[in-house]
A = this chain, B = another copy of it.
Amino acid sequence: IQKIMNVVISAAKDTKKLGKEDPRRIIHSFKVGLAITLVSLFYYFDFLYEGFGVSAMWAVMTVVVVFEFSVGATLGKGVNRAIATLLGGALGVGAHRLASFTGEKVECIMLGLSVFLIASMVTFIRFFPKLKARYDYGLLIFILTFCLISVSGVRDDEVLEMAHRRLSTILIGGLATVFVSIFICPIWAGKDLHNLTANNIEKLAIFLQGFGHEYFETTNDKNQENKASMDGYKTVLNSKGTEEALVNFAKWEPRHSKFRYRHPWDLYLKIGALTRECAYRIDALNGYLHSEMQTPMETRAKIQESCTKMSSECSYALKKLASGINTMTCSLPADAHILNAKAAAKKLKSSLKPGLWPETDLVDIIPVATVASLLIEIASCTVKIADSV
């Protein structure tokens, strides 16, 4: 019993955490419940049920399957489903008509053959990367509708009416879904994408801010805390998939809040790619924090000033860029920091003139030099990000 209690308690904790992390999840859950309940009214009222009969279930089904977390994903799936049902149904009715001119046996063979061919062809078409990204669901529904309509025709001669009922119930379900999704606390994929991009840049900034202290061990009390937040950049490394999905969804969305209809969503992919490139450098840099080849502190101290300066200036610049993206303003203040970072890089280079390092072993310098030059690379990445914002 103790064990079961523990499981229940930890599950409750997880639930609470999940809800706190993103309260929109709770809202979304209730929205789905609401939409399904709305559509199931078809079953409760006689005057609604009479029009559709058993087909009313397609409406419920559409809501369950189409309702996604963000408006863009929902709209994309809904439009896909509606158009695919229309086309698949039309083709199915056509195939049935064509086959019905022949005898019964030939009809069966012809229909079976057409189902086989269409299903195989469309399944293959689903592999095209471009179509897969945006119309995968539509192609699936196309196969489904075509097969159901054309094959049912063998048993039921009112194919046209069946197709019509199916299409209209799916439209009703789809419209209810889209309505609830857009007009009750909408969750915009475009906004999420925007925030994700800004947050990712900020995570890099946080790392760079902490790096100076960490590497030159000017320890203070907040060190442990810092370390945790510095690891935040690691999620940036694998952000590509999420970003691409969000861009896809965002393209389906209508104009909303501060985003125009044809917002340049592809630009976010470009910024994301540069952010990741910068994150790869940072990951390499992070390796030196815990590397086996440690440089004596005295050696590090010589480049401390300019390195710390460079990393903190890059950090400021990235932060400015992030907040510039957040507020959608031009990011002039970031330019100043980038200039500072460049100046620090120059100073760092000049501090590495041979004369200044008479007695130190070159082996000791290498990691430091690497750190320095990675920082320089990161600075130039920063410049690139700044240019494309």
Partner of A284, one of B18, B19, B281, B366: B281
Contact call A148/B61, Cβ cutoff below 8 A = yes
CB closest residue in chain B, given A121: B29
Total count of chain A residues near the partner, CB < 8 A: 81
Contact with B along A271-300 (1 / 0, CB 8 A): 000001100110110010001110000000
CB of A369 within 8 A of CB of B380, answer: no
Contact status A115-B353, CB under 8 Å? no
The CA-CA distance from A49 to B280 in the complex, in Å, is 60
- CA A341 to CA B15, docked complex, whole Å: 50
**A369 cross-chain contacts in B, Cβ below 8 A:** 365-366, 369-370, 373
Nearest-CB residue, chain B, relative to A245: B241
Q: Scan A218-245; emit 1 where CB is below 8 A from any B CB, else 0.
A: 0000000000000000000110110000
Asked whether, in the complex, the Cβ of A30 is within 8 Å of the Cβ of B374, the reply is no
- Return A298 CB to nearest CB of chain B, in Å: 15
A241 vs B239: C-alpha distance when bound (angstroms): 10
- Residue of chain B at shortest CB distance from A156: B54
Answer yes or no: A124 CB below 8 A from chain B CBs. yes
- Closest residue of chain B to A377 (Cβ to Cβ) is B287
Indicate if the CB atoms of B362 and A373 lie closer than 8 Å. no
Q: A36-B147, A366-B369 are in contact. Are A140 and B64 (CB under 8 A)?
A: yes
Bound Cα distance from A26 to B14, whole angstroms:
44
Q: Which residues of A contact B (CB under 8 A)?
A: 14-15, 18-19, 25-26, 28-30, 32-34, 36-37, 40-41, 43-44, 49, 54, 57, 60-61, 64-65, 108, 112, 115-117, 119-121, 123-124, 127-128, 140, 143-144, 147-148, 151-152, 154-155, 237-238, 240-241, 276-277, 280-281, 283-284, 287, 291-293, 349-350, 352-354, 357, 360-363, 365-367, 369-370, 372-374, 376-377, 380
Residue contacts A-B, CB under 8 angstroms, 25 given:
A14-B128, A19-B124, A25-B124, A26-B124, A33-B116, A33-B117, A36-B147, A37-B115, A37-B119, A43-B152, A57-B148, A61-B144, A64-B140, A64-B144, A237-B276, A241-B241, A280-B284, A284-B374, A287-B377, A349-B363, A353-B362, A357-B362, A366-B372, A366-B373, A367-B373
